[in-house]
Amino acid sequence: MRTAAVSASELYIGLMSGTSLDGIDGVLADFSGPRMRVTHHTSAPFTPALRAELLALNTPGDNELHRAALAGNALSRAYGDVVHALVQCSGLPASAIRAIGAHGQTVRHRPQEFDGTGYTLQLLSPALLAERTGITVVADLRSRDVAAGGQGAPLVPAFHQGIFGRPDETVLVLNIGGISNLSVLGADGSVLGFDCGPGNALMDHWCQLHTGQAFDRGGAWAATGQVLPGLLASLMQEPFLHKAPPKSTGRDLFNPPWLATHLERFGHAEPVDVQATLTEFTATACSACADSYKMDSKILAVCGGGALNTQLMRRLQALCPSLQVMTTDALGLPALQVEAAAFAWLARQALHQAPGNLPSVTGAAGTRVLGAVYPA
């Protein structure tokens, strides 16, 4: 990504914990050169207790305000540990880092609902993170876009354009976390982006429920099952999948109760066949979006945890025969670093008082500087 030279430090940390709830990814990104460079990357899983509480807070429950505050504190401590690991690996003092872009954990995402504005809620205590690291923190990166009439998501397409955009062809970038989103990077510099629908969230839930494993590693379990056409057809009837962008979603929609409703007519289905169908559901929803917006693209570059699901990648390629399906590693940025790097970039945008959103993506009334700043 091209950047303007400034006198202050151009080292930023980006932290991301997504809807997959598998843990935290952190990068140290250097913006001092002509293109952004990730110098260090680390990740850390959530403790079982923190993961369970964050998952529980995605749905209404008792004493939510108290529990959410404490979960935000716990998450901030976990974020702080990732920051300390990155700083230690770099061999630099914390004072060399200009800022941390911290996403927090989304537990509700309801833009434009209820009162016309709606809300998006990411748990975090940015003040505690700043205290524990001694580094300026930029957080609350979605709510300004929502206040401006936007979806507040996805925020990564502008970053994708700077990193992966090409002047001679359209590039499609598909991020598969708990929810999937597509960036359409036009050869003419135009950018479109929106949530496709399910990513790993339903697959992970079903795998945990029936195997005790947090996720289906490589899609190996799904690969041994048979897709259930009737169930797949039922899942694909979800109205969100057929809405025109801008649009975004989350666990507020694609969650276990939603899945249970669709499974009512398939009570005798083998669990492995349901897993195969859920994998095919994600692949089908994503490929339908790619097919609708591919224009002259020859590339579908995949990032996020879903890029490591061999069966899912295989099905994406089969469903998108005119596209070369690859991971973003082939374009110069490893699949598990992309989102964290995007939030490092968003922190930099905020401190430079530069817009972080794209109205063509979120539907906001205009570009906005995103994020609240908590100085070191």
Mean pLDDT by 10 residues, the chain (376 residues): 52 96 96 96 97 96 97 98 98 97 97 98 98 98 98 98 95 98 97 98 97 97 98 98 97 97 96 98 98 95 98 98 98 98 98 98 98 98
Question: How far apart are the C-alpha atoms of 336 and 85, rounded to whole Å?
Answer: 17
Name residue 74's beta-bridge partners. none
pLDDT of residue 224: 98
* Dihedral of the alpha carbons of 167, 172, 175, 181, in degrees to the nearest 10: 110
For 118, list phi and psi in degrees, rounded to 5: 70, -155
320, 284 in Cβ contact below 8 A?
Answer: no
pLDDT of residue 288: 98
- pLDDT of the residue at 349: 98
How do beta strands 37-44 and 24-30 pair?
A: antiparallel
What confidence score (pLDDT) does residue 193 get? 98
Structure-token pair, residue 187: 């050869």
pTM for the whole thing?
0.95
